[in-house]
Copies of this chain bind each other. A is one copy, B any other.
Amino acid sequence: MLTKPLRGIIPPAITPMIDNDTLDIIGLEKLLNRMIQGGVSGVFILGTSGEAQNISYNVRKELIKETCRIVARRVPVLVGITDTSFSESLSLAASAAHYGADALVAAPPYYFAPGQAELIQYYNDLANQLPLPLFLYNMPSHVKVMIEPETVLSLSKNPNIIGLKDSSANGVYFQKLIYLLKDDPEFTLLCGPEEMTAEVVLMGGHGGVNGGANLFPDLYVALYNAAACKDFEKLAELQSQVLKISLSLYNIGKYASSYIKGVKTALNLMGVCSDYMGEPFHKFKDAEREIIRKNLMDLNIKSDDL
């Protein structure tokens, strides 16, 4: 079911929660169904946007189970198994395989920062024991280390490593990946930051893992399609909307987590799911929520379900 390369928009799903240990299952259903109706090419759970690290392992496994149930093979399900503990990554992967997910995603272990040689050994050791194919996940702001382009090239030779999601926002890095992997057309290269998805697709990247697709999945799918078809007129208009979302919803308050808070608050205002945030974070208070409400209305997005 997983095409190679995987093209299009794969939203990094936020995790709807009622409290620190309870999923908002109804919200999860609405969230995932909206995405699939919006035309996404897959869903990615338990990434940074999914607050994976803040959620207990039991809840993470429940989320895998419920997501696979709801998605019901309509699109591929990618499951984050990023962990500092190798054994816990394997355990999450086993759950993902058991419940029918399609692929796994792992950023480097994030307490001690490994060197490049250690990363190569780590990812090969991991991929060789995984029951599903693996996407690398470059996330230096949280993990303190880049998966260098030459490291990715080396790891791409492992048949169980099938792609990479880059959340570095470093455009030089992405172009080096496209160049170094040009002889491996099945290796998927996906862009994290939605502000860069259009340009990355124009240059040969395969798609975006864009947080905004939690809110307006059809908009980001349209953006991807316009870039893939090189329809620059449409692209200009859509890119402008994407930037307006980015500048008006993701920077409220001065938190490292402002982006997730903004997305969850907007989803809650749109009636999709709860805006509860797992510890150590906390949902927006009223003043910040009002800013999101106003900015959301100002967006005036012609999304199918608004």
Binding site for B on A (CB under 8 A): 20-21, 48, 53-57, 59, 84-88, 91, 108-115, 118-119, 121-122, 125-126, 142, 144, 169-176, 178-180, 182, 193, 195-196, 198-200, 202-204, 230, 232, 236, 239-240, 243-244, 246-247, 254-257, 278-282
Contact of A88 among B57, B118, B240 (CB under 8 A): B57
Task: Tell me, rounded to whole Å, the shortest Cβ–Cβ distance linking A249 to chain B.
Answer: 14
- Tell me the bound Cα distance from A48 to B112 in angstroms: 9
* Residues of B contacting A179 in the complex (Cβ-Cβ under 8 angstroms): 239-240, 243-244, 247
- Tell me the bound Cα distance from A280 to B196 in angstroms: 31
Interface of A is mostly: helix
7 example contacts (A-B, Cβ-Cβ < 8 A) are as follows: A112-B281, A114-B281, A118-B255, A172-B195, A178-B243, A179-B240, A203-B239
Instruction: Name the residue of chain B whose CB is nearest to the CB of A253.
Output: B115
A279 touches B170 (CB 8 A): no
- Tell me the bound Cα distance from A45 to B294 in angstroms: 47
Task: Tell me, rounded to whole Å, the shortest Cβ–Cβ distance linking A190 to chain B.
Answer: 14
* Residues of B contacting A144 in the complex (Cβ-Cβ under 8 angstroms): 144
Given contacts A53-B111, A199-B203, 10 further A-B contacts (CB under 8 A): A56-B91, A86-B278, A109-B280, A110-B110, A113-B256, A115-B254, A115-B256, A118-B281, A144-B144, A202-B202
